[in-house]
Structure 1
Amino acid sequence: MKPSAESAARIPVLPRLARPANRVGVVGPAKLALRQYLADYERDLGGAFREHADAEQIVAARAAAVDRVLDYAWHSWLGEADDAALIAVGGYGRAELFPYSDVDLLILTVESPEPRVMRAIEAFCAGLWDLGIKPGMAVRDLDCCRELAGQDVSVYTNLIEARFLVGSRELAERLLARLPDESLWTPARFLEAKRAEQTARHQRFGDTAYNLEPQLKEGPGGLRDLQLIGWLGREIAGSGEPAQMVEAGLLDATEAEALGSARTTLFRIRHALHLLARRAEERLLFDYQRELARLLGYRDEHADNLGVEQCMQDYYRAARRIAGTNEELIARCSEMLATSAADVRDLGDGFRRIGDRLDVDASHRLQEEPQTLIALYALIATEPGIRGLRANALRQVRLAMANPAFDLDRPEVFAALRELLERGAAAVEALAAMARHGVLARLIPGFARVTGRMQYDLFHVYTVDEHTMRVLRFMARFASEDGARDFPLAHTVYQRIPQPALLLLAGLFHDIAKGRGGDHSVLGEEDARVFCARLGLRPAAVDRVAWLVRQHLLMSVTAQRQDITDPAVVHRFAEQVDDWERLDYLYLLTVADINGTSPKLWNTWRDRLLSDLYAATRYVLREESGELPKAGERVAETRARATSMLEPKGLDPSVIARIWADFPEESFLRYRPEQIAWQTAAIATHDAASGALVRVNPLGVRGTSEVFVYSPDRDGLFATITAVLDRAQLNVVEARVISAHSDMVLDTFYVLDASGKPLPEGERVEAIELALRSALGMRVLNEQPVRRALPRTLRHFHIVPRIVFSVVAGRTRLGLVCTDRPGLLASVAQTFRSLGVRVHDARIATFGERVEDFFRISDENDRLLDEAGQEALRAALLEQLDLSQPERQKVMHANP
């Protein structure tokens, strides 16, 4: 549920503090009394905040308390000095002091103050720390201040919102009364400098307000963006107060109201964050999010709408409001201050192009004919070089969106939207602008519900609406020259789909039901059907979009959790897809979805898995019989192709025949010809007396590095290999464990480095080969996994482990779902070894903090695990996962 409304809790009255009678400094009892004065009032303010007093009033009250202590301290050391003044700058200059904010001060002096004054200033500055005040301090004379302000826009910005505290008012006025000062910074220069400063700052913090751990001060849509609005008001309208900016025409009443609401939200969250962190923490880390939500009064509704997600959604929506107003104000100021007229071109229907932006003229019919709103955004798709809307157009759109009577639910609006969607890739930036300006939320009610919605995990890096826009942008990228280079298969497939609009619609709706409870794919399908029907799509097109939304996870799940070298798996998938066109659309949606979820998620392994499944499925769909290919035919084909690859290497056919006689049929079914040829060549040149054969192929057929081990089968082999690979900080994503007819194993481990990339050739490959040979050369295999500290982000997520047994292809299949941690696979392998469990296949998948691993296993005699063996393994794994005894019993009961 939402937090309760702000109560009428009163701000505690600030006790009086009389000035000292003598200039003796703050020492002894006076120092203790001032520290206690601040501590007591701080405690009272904390209590008021917990009773939901207004956070903006609290930070002002805290600033007022510090004002009084500074006044007392100044008079204790300097008295009524005429040659120095104490001035508050920065946040303190705005009278905004959060619990652990720095107290930024400027001591302004005459050009050459007397030595006694400088000694008193030094004592004053040193004494503030003893009073519990953390100052940010500068001591400058008037000329130095003005010189620095003219050189550094940050110094100038601090001064234009500075506040006189104590000392020589006349001296302070000589500096502050002249600000803003065009001789230091003209409004145009100031705007350009602050815009460049903001762009650089946004880039440092991910260039999006929708990261899972946003920076609420410096990040996009954060407090700095809010402050920039006030700074521009001071510089251009003479005041940063919203009411005065409305009078000056820089803001309108609705913008001022929205900014006030967003400011309130950010102040409450920042205040609570400081209290929880007990320091000036400005990043909404996972460490604090849950407790922060509880402190602010949010409560869980159900598993898909946690209190922490509601709290963060309010933050993201406030950040969006600030970012939107910031964008519009910068555009408006830029237009007001432009020194030369931009080229103007009439586009008809009341639209104009001015420079590289769009505007509406006085004859526009936006309020009377809402379809013209869609036409405005459609120009982004048709006019080359358009960067966005001008301030007037932005304001007209915002006013229309704020008007409840503005009716978009009209056939002509949906007809215009359909026409835009049919432009395919060109429509994406128009749709992104519509999302940014709130238009999509009005057109699609479900999109409004997911605007700013986060998912409290490490897998989904962005809010649902931001993820959706990123998915659409990747779809557009598939159509581009960059896409041809970075996503060659997706680029080829995109050129083949007959209706790109259907792909865009699937992208818009695939996650639209997140947070409602229930299966979001099923609920999203229902929304998609209704909306597509409103667009006037034919029933077959509606069905296609609905199917894509319903099945948008099918290809990803099949590729990552099942063995796609098994024809039965591919045939089942092909039966679900049913035709080539659906396969094309689903492939593109899957690739865009993975890339739009996290920058770290897409890698060569996933790329190859999906492309292999796509190719295998197209082959099956081409067949008329639909029968599974016979194993014998597959083996023969693999042998023939591998032989053709080995012939140029000069291997004696008898040597090849001798090696392959030891290979089980499974090798030729599950390995590609390239792998068989590589393994055969390695074995042919290997001296058995030298120990285990270890080879690393930096870039193998799976888009990963392949580690091949040919060794006598021994207890602890799988556990030793995984421990060594873990020690080398390699992630195993798949493993093939095959026993030869002799007492040898043909094991292949598919690995990626810590950044999700294959290994480069060179010293590291050699070091891994040496480490494995050394470990496997030990008389007793007992390599232990490294114990590493749990990363900070993983500490805040706990997934109740799920262990499921089944039988697949004559082997026991173990599915393990749990929270990730360093060295997990190596620890699981040690557990297998301790119980005499043999591993024949492993598929390792990590989604943020969630691990979904699947193993094909048997007992030490290659038989299925019986019920007793399964229960023993389940108990041992739960113990390995560090669950407490009550937790283990709960899981054992839940997953019999």
Structure 2
Amino acid sequence: MPVAPIVLPPLPRLPVAVPRSGVSSDARRALRQLLGDVDRALATAFRQGADATALAHRRSESVQRIVVHVWTACLGEVSDAALFAVGGFGRGLLFPHSDVDLLALVGPSEPARLRALEQCFATLWDIGLKVGHAVRDLAQCRALAAQDASVFTSLLDARRLVGDPALEEGLRAIINDPALWPPAAYLAVRLAERDARHARYNDTAYNLEPNLKDGPGGLRTLDSLRWLGRRLAHADDFDDMVAEGLLDPAEKDSLEQSEATLRRYRFALHLEAGRAEERLLFDYQRALAASLGFQDEHEKNLGVEQFMQGYYRAASQVERLGVQIAERFEEMLEPPTAAQPVGEDFVRYGKRLAARDPDIFMRRHAALVEAFIARLGEPGITGFTADTMRRMHQASAVLDGSLGDDHDVLVAFLRLLRLGAPAVEALWRMNRHGLLAAILPAFGKVFGRMQYDLFHVYTVDEHTLRVLRNVARFADPAAATEFPIACEIWPTLPKPELLLLAALFHDIAKGRGGDHSVLGEEEALAFGARLGLPEEDTQLVAWLVRWHLLMSTTAQRQDITDPDVVQRFAETVGDAERLDYLYLLTIADIIGTSPKLWNGWKDRLLSDLYTATRYALRSEDELPSDAAARVAACREQAEAILAKDGYASDALARVWRGFPEQSFLRHRPEQIAWQTAAILEARGATPLVAVHPQSVRGTTELFVYTPDRDGLFAAVAIMLDRLHFSVMEARILSSSTGMALDTFLLLESESQQPASPERAEELKQRLHRALSQPGHVHQPSRRSMSRHLKHFQATPKISFSTVSGRTRLALVCSDRPGLLAAVAQVMFESGVRVHDARIATFGERVEDFFLITNRHDAPLAIDQQDRLLHALLDRLGTSRAA
């Protein structure tokens, strides 16, 4: 976007200030009007394309004139008193709603002067400036600065506005005192502050609602680099840091470009929010994108996603360079050490690796990768020397786009991948130095790419690196408790590097439009050929990229207790080796998408599908030949379990006489045994409500046995919603004797964990009371929607199909509190019976599948489907049927 000239009125002409007379009410009104005129002019100039940094400087200049005017009117030309700007104001930058931070240095306290200061600050507040102020003498400044590094840091930015110049000299003496926060101590405390600040934001710049100022890679990071430069190297700005060898010109340009982006976004955010908001909340993202000229390219590259990609790229560059520059400061303060050889091309100086030949990266490009391989083999290495880092960046910048075609570079890259799990740490570091994008240009295209939803909480590049780290965890024996099957599979993989490649490429085509799995498959095929992989290895990597979502969607959206579902999945997978790779990639992908997505239920769901598919991939004569054989096997195993607890076979036969065949086909023997024991112990009392806190697939199991009636599913769903339980799966069956045998797999809505024994008992008692009053119909609870969910309410999509003599309803919509309860109530009111339910939630997106009939257990006719469709749409929102 072209930068328009700044069209502003001259710096404000102020009312005449009469020293020590204070500011009259008329003058205050004039100053308020003046400040409003300045801010409106600045906002207009910004919307016309003026540079945010220039505007922030202009606002600082205008506010400075007003502050000096008020000081003069209240205190006059006094000795032993001076006013300093600190914080952003000290740096000469004020955004539309920034605080105006001031430090008043005074000599001996005088009541009259203190009253004048109070009047000064009160006046500034009254005219509309949000003033933060401190009043101290030099001794207090020194004492506080010695105790608190943040106070000392604030003095680095202090700029005298008005008052006694001698106090400025006294303040400089404090700042320049080598005994106050010597370089090593100051560096340590600033790095500790950085780490603590980043920890508040999950240690990543890739939060969905990032903080422009204090988040990783935010404007505070740039301020910190300047503070370190001043204290450690007497370098006041980035130009001075280049002269001192702490930055190269390309790095300086990158930092300044990123800073310009962050300042532009911050200026726009203050205007949009109408206050000093520093978080890019969902509330503002779409409006900000539009105001800054970003437009939707297609549904997979929205304007808001382009806008956020601009932020993520800028913040990521700042974060990466910030870490590297901090390492250079550490190196600068370390005592010199003797060089120790590391192979033919590298040496180590203490904890840092360096190239023997400074020109090796330009002379032999593969050394860019070999440096990271050498680092892996040297314990205690924490980084590269500043000169080596600089030369690596210079080489990669010159060679950008060509490294992926350099045969020797690709040979070294493949050698790195063949190290297996240890290679992941090297890949992560290579990304921080920009080398992954240089070798894989397609990866550079997803750098900073976000998806505007609550499901994908990281940018594509950050997600990919997290998936790689999750893969590496499977090689750690300590992870066996959490991932027993995955850790058992890992050492059996013939070529772990193929899994690393699949992880690198699985989302590499996001944002292009079209199916990213298909486009990613093409990228993987092309890169595998350039890498020189055997054809079968390239095909395996490409297949994993193409089908990386298959296992999770099959497990969560289909009934994996149905042998036909497992068989179809097994036919797509083809062989046990592909299954092993796909299982590991699926787990790593889910956990790397959002920490909240992984739970015990998904773990067991995937492990059950994995085990069933392994079984199905064996010879056909090992599979039960028909449903009758599977029913008989389940009955036999359940009877053996119950016999150990003393239950007689004739009692079991009486109970099972009414069980439908689907009970034995869809439940495990352990579930059948538990349900049967509960029925026998109830001795005919209904409604029977049994709760197993820790049951199948890491869930709490609820079993309801009661005379069947229409609306039972709705009654249970509404009560579960009231008690804040999420339904993962539901089996709605009826016996030949007219009894309902309904099974629900549950998790706590907030924690996504199984219920505690106390909560399980509460559920049992509350639901029993509700079902004991069949004439009383509970209404779903009305709970407000969270701020996040409000921004992601999409048009519901509803479709119908016929499966095994029943109607299958697919519902895809945005999540909201009480959704399942509302859907269940609509079905009841529409005369629909629910026989099965598969519940899946992906961030803010819900994908639920129901097998339903009318009240005569027949599939819904077209007119019934149409009535149900419109009833659901009326309840859920804007209509659209698939």
TM-score range, shorter chain: over 0.9
In the aligned structure 2, how far is the partner of 1:40 from the partner of 1:8?
A: 18
Letter in 2 for 1:147: A
Q: Which residue of the other structure, out of 601, 604, 616, is the alignment partner of 2:612?
A: 616
Correspondence for 1:171:
167
Correspondence for 2:115:
119
Correspondence for 2:535:
539
Letter in 2 for 1:509: F
Q: Which residue of the other structure, out of 98, 101, 106, is the alignment partner of 1:101?
A: 98
What are the equivalent positions in structure 2 for 1:439-588 lying under 5 Å apart? 439-588=435-584
In the aligned structure 2, how far is the partner of 1:165 from the partner of 1:670?
A: 78
Task: Judge which range, 195-204 or 349-358, deviates more.
Answer: 349-358
SS in 2 for 1:486: coil
Deviation at 1:391, TM superposition (A): 2.4
Correspondence for 1:739:
734
Correspondence for 2:395:
400
Deviation at 1:628, TM superposition (A): 6.7
Question: Is the Cα–Cα contact under 8 Å of residues 11 and 57 in structure 1 kept in the other structure?
Answer: no
Deviation at 1:677, TM superposition (A): 0.3
What are the equivalent positions in structure 2 for 1:237-316 lying under 5 Å apart? 237-316=233-312
Correspondence for 1:158:
154
4+ aligned runs moved over 6 Å, structure 1: none
Deviation at 1:611, TM superposition (A): 0.4
Letter in 2 for 1:834: E
In the aligned structure 2, how far is the partner of 1:387 from the partner of 1:812?
A: 61
In the aligned structure 2, how far is the partner of 1:301 from the partner of 1:364?
A: 43
Correspondence for 1:635:
631
SS in 1 for 2:294: coil
Deviation at 1:155, TM superposition (A): 0.3
SS in 2 for 1:806: strand
In the aligned structure 2, how far is the partner of 1:628 from the partner of 1:649?
A: 28
TM-score (norm 2): 0.98
CA 1:577 to 1:121, structure 2 compared with 1: closer, same or farther past 3 Å? same
Correspondence for 1:329:
325
Q: Give the unaligned 5+ runs of structure 1.
A: none
In the aligned structure 1, how far is the partner of 2:696 from the partner of 2:401?
A: 56
1:653 aligned to 2:649?
yes
Correspondence for 1:416:
412
TM-score (norm 1): 0.96
Residues 281-319 of structure 1: CA deviation (Å, up to 9, x unaligned): 111111111111111111111111111111111111111
SS in 2 for 1:105: strand
Question: Is the Cα–Cα contact under 8 Å of residues 59 and 97 in structure 1 kept in the other structure?
Answer: yes
Deviation at 1:497, TM superposition (A): 1.2
Correspondence for 2:712:
717
For the aligned residue pairs, the C-alpha RMSD in angstroms reads 1.5
Letter in 1 for 2:332: M
Task: Judge which range, 761-770 or 591-600, deviates more.
Answer: 761-770
1:71 aligned to 2:68?
yes
In the aligned structure 1, how far is the partner of 2:216 from the partner of 2:625?
A: 55
Correspondence for 2:58:
61
Question: Is the Cα–Cα contact under 8 Å of residues 142 and 175 in structure 1 kept in the other structure?
Answer: yes
SS in 1 for 2:698: coil
Residues 142-201 of structure 1: CA deviation (Å, up to 9, x unaligned): 100011001100000000111001121222221135523312111111111101110111
Q: Which residue of the other structure, out of 42, 46, 49, is the alignment partner of 1:49?
A: 46
Deviation at 1:12, TM superposition (A): 4.3
Deviation at 1:333, TM superposition (A): 1.0
Residues 113-160 of structure 1: CA deviation (Å, up to 9, x unaligned): 222111111111222211101111111111000110011000000001
Deviation at 1:758, TM superposition (A): 3.3
Correspondence for 1:40:
37
SS in 2 for 1:822: coil
CA 1:405 to 1:576, structure 2 compared with 1: closer, same or farther past 3 Å? closer
Q: Which residue of the other structure, out of 871, 874, 877, is the alignment partner of 1:876?
A: 871
Letter in 1 for 2:546: R
In the aligned structure 1, how far is the partner of 2:643 from the partner of 2:381?
A: 59
SS in 1 for 2:657: helix
Residues 494-540 of structure 1: CA deviation (Å, up to 9, x unaligned): 11110001000000000000000001000000000010111110000
Letter in 2 for 1:164: R
Correspondence for 1:141:
137
Question: Is the Cα–Cα contact under 8 Å of residues 370 and 412 in structure 2 kept in the other structure?
Answer: yes
Task: Judge which range, 348-357 or 369-378, deviates more.
Answer: 348-357
Q: Which residue of the other structure, out of 741, 754, 761, is the alignment partner of 1:766?
A: 761
Correspondence for 2:603:
607
Q: Give the unaligned 5+ runs of structure 2.
A: none
Letter in 1 for 2:367: T
Residues 589-609 of structure 1: CA deviation (Å, up to 9, x unaligned): 101100100000011111011
Q: Which residue of the other structure, out of 370, 382, 389, is the alignment partner of 2:384?
A: 389
Residues 771-829 of structure 1: CA deviation (Å, up to 9, x unaligned): 10011011414111111101100111132211111112221110000111000000000
In the aligned structure 2, how far is the partner of 1:520 from the partner of 1:388?
A: 35
In the aligned structure 1, how far is the partner of 2:875 from the partner of 2:188?
A: 58
In the aligned structure 1, how far is the partner of 2:81 from the partner of 2:15?
A: 21
Correspondence for 2:791:
796
Question: Is the Cα–Cα contact under 8 Å of residues 180 and 234 in structure 1 kept in the other structure?
Answer: no
- Aligned-pair identity in percent equals 53
Letter in 2 for 1:290: R
Deviation at 1:445, TM superposition (A): 1.2
Residues 662-718 of structure 1: CA deviation (Å, up to 9, x unaligned): 1111100001000000000000010434x3111111111121111111111112110
SS in 2 for 1:86: strand
In the aligned structure 2, how far is the partner of 1:857 from the partner of 1:342?
A: 75
Deviation at 1:238, TM superposition (A): 2.4
CA 1:304 to 1:406, structure 2 compared with 1: closer, same or farther past 3 Å? closer
Question: Is the Cα–Cα contact under 8 Å of residues 19 and 75 in structure 1 kept in the other structure?
Answer: no
Question: Is the Cα–Cα contact under 8 Å of residues 87 and 163 in structure 1 kept in the other structure?
Answer: yes
SS in 1 for 2:162: strand
In the aligned structure 2, how far is the partner of 1:525 from the partner of 1:217?
A: 39
In the aligned structure 2, how far is the partner of 1:453 from the partner of 1:354?
A: 38
Question: Is the Cα–Cα contact under 8 Å of residues 737 and 839 in structure 1 kept in the other structure?
Answer: yes
In the aligned structure 2, how far is the partner of 1:797 from the partner of 1:443?
A: 36
CA 1:293 to 1:657, structure 2 compared with 1: closer, same or farther past 3 Å? same
Correspondence for 2:88:
91
Question: Is the Cα–Cα contact under 8 Å of residues 83 and 113 in structure 1 kept in the other structure?
Answer: no
Q: Which residue of the other structure, out of 646, 665, 670, is the alignment partner of 2:666?
A: 670
Correspondence for 2:847:
852
Deviation at 1:404, TM superposition (A): 4.4
In the aligned structure 2, how far is the partner of 1:779 from the partner of 1:551?
A: 47
Correspondence for 1:365:
360
In the aligned structure 2, how far is the partner of 1:626 from the partner of 1:657?
A: 28
In the aligned structure 2, how far is the partner of 1:11 from the partner of 1:467?
A: 44
SS in 2 for 1:688: coil
What are the equivalent positions in structure 2 for 1:18-29 lying under 5 Å apart? 19-29=16-26
Question: Is the Cα–Cα contact under 8 Å of residues 716 and 781 in structure 1 kept in the other structure?
Answer: no
Question: Is the Cα–Cα contact under 8 Å of residues 708 and 738 in structure 2 kept in the other structure?
Answer: yes
CA 1:841 to 1:422, structure 2 compared with 1: closer, same or farther past 3 Å? same
